[in-house]
Structure 1
Amino acid sequence: MDKNLEILKNLSLERLEESFKSISESPNKEDEQGKKRRESYKNAYPFFVQYFAGVEEITIDNLVIAAHFVYGWMPTILTFEFAHIDKVLESLNKVKRGNLLNSSEIVEIKACVNNSLVGTSKLLHFINPDKYAIWDSNIYAYLKETKKHYGVDNVDLYLGYLKKLGEITNEDKFKDFHNAINSKVKYNVTPMRAIEYVMFHAHPKSESTE
């Protein structure tokens, strides 16, 4: 196994269930501003998904708008790169149609949106939340069980992460876990989002601000 993918070995439905139990039972120690920010993200999420649900063919207009609302969830300011935009749009429409991209296609999209895999993963997720999961330093911290985030920008690791999540969603007991997350969030989310939600909330506090 690629050394970078070794952190995926300990990701299992059993661990996710334990993590969900832990975050459900633990008191929320965030300050008032943190709670408001998290509630704002939760409330905005379905609007972002719905934006792309109503788009048949992704154009540059959709991409520019979406890239900027994605960065509303991030502390960095977006630098949008228009080079190779036709290839980027071609790849994003493949995502819209339910296809999985290869590493070179993801790298090209990444170059368009701040050269950030985190921002790219959020864009891909909002376009097709059934096939793509959000990836950030918090998810990386959960998988590696560390506060350090070096390695979070590894595209092959992100693709391995998507494959692993797909395997977990096919397990017999996953439906009960998924239903529990929907009840917690108070609206229906995709299986990919359900898993990522638990990892995000259960991660060791990351040293990254992204």
Structure 2
Amino acid sequence: MSEQDIAEFAVAAVNEAPASDAADDSYALQHSHLVRAFALADFSQSETLTALALAVYGWMPGIPRNLIDEKKRPRTAEMLSKLQCGDLSQCSDMRFINGSVIGTSKFLHFLRPETFAIWDTNVAIALAYPDSWSGAAKAPVHRSVDNEDRYRKYLRGLSLAQNSENLRELEFALFRLGKRMRARTSGADA
């Protein structure tokens, strides 16, 4: 899927999204609290990185294995101060939270929600099935979701669509679509 395809598909996902439900409303409220916590954070304190990474992992399914590599902590803190301006080119290590692009994308999202979208399995599923609107998805989901190149391409694609849509709205529509697709495939709520 090209970056332009990602942009067009994300806009279509927003336009075709069903009305929100109580679970979506709860998710949005929790999201806003985390955004506020990151906005108030003092990144000059060494504990802040760990505390916020734990908050992100508390919000998502998954237990951190190696939350922050202690050997990389000083370099990660320096990189984060550069990332606060929103320039992903300053991020030399896309796996600085729990050794995971997914965890790092969520951390970056709360650091700069207007710049960094969340990348996770649900979003990847939505993008792996461009014909999902008809329910005729054919290709298997790409199993290497935790992929830095795919995340960077996804961000570039969403940036092409941002003239007409809000980044969070685009990402959340893809998340919801992927979640519905997973439920359809498993026959249960994803």
Q: TM-score, normalised by structure 2?
A: 0.78
> What residue in structure 2 maps to residue 52 of structure 1?
38
Which of 169, 176, 183 is the equivalent residue of 1:194? 169
Q: How does 1:128-139 map to 2 (within 5 A)?
A: 128-139=112-123
Distance change >3 Å, CA 103–CA 94, structure 1 → 2: closer
Contact 2:102 2:146 in 1 (8 A): yes
Deviation (angstroms), 1:197: 0.8
Q: Partner of 2:118: helix, strand, or coil?
A: coil
Q: How many Å separate the matches in 1 of 2:40 and 2:27? A: 21
Distance change >3 Å, CA 205–CA 58, structure 1 → 2: farther
5+ residue gaps, structure 1: 1-5, 29-34, 179-190
Q: TM-score, normalised by structure 1?
A: 0.71
Q: Partner of 1:166: helix, strand, or coil?
A: helix
Which of 97, 100, 105 is the equivalent residue of 2:93? 105
1:157 partnered with 2:129:
no
Q: How many Å separate the matches in 1 of 2:169 and 2:44? A: 26
Deviation (angstroms), 1:149: 4.5
Q: Partner of 2:70: helix, strand, or coil?
A: coil
Identical counterparts, % of pairs: 28
5+ residue gaps, structure 2: 130-138
Q: How many Å separate the matches in 2 of 1:59 and 1:106? A: 21
Give the counterpart letter for 1:12 in structure 2.
A
Contact 1:136 1:152 in 2 (8 A): yes
Q: Partner of 2:6: helix, strand, or coil?
A: coil
Give RMSD over aligned pairs: 2.7
* Higher RCO (C-alpha under 8 Å, 6+ residues apart): 2
Q: How many residues align?
A: 173
Contact 2:34 2:110 in 1 (8 A): yes
Deviation (angstroms), 1:159: 0.9
Distance change >3 Å, CA 130–CA 95, structure 1 → 2: same
Give the counterpart letter for 2:150 in structure 1.
L
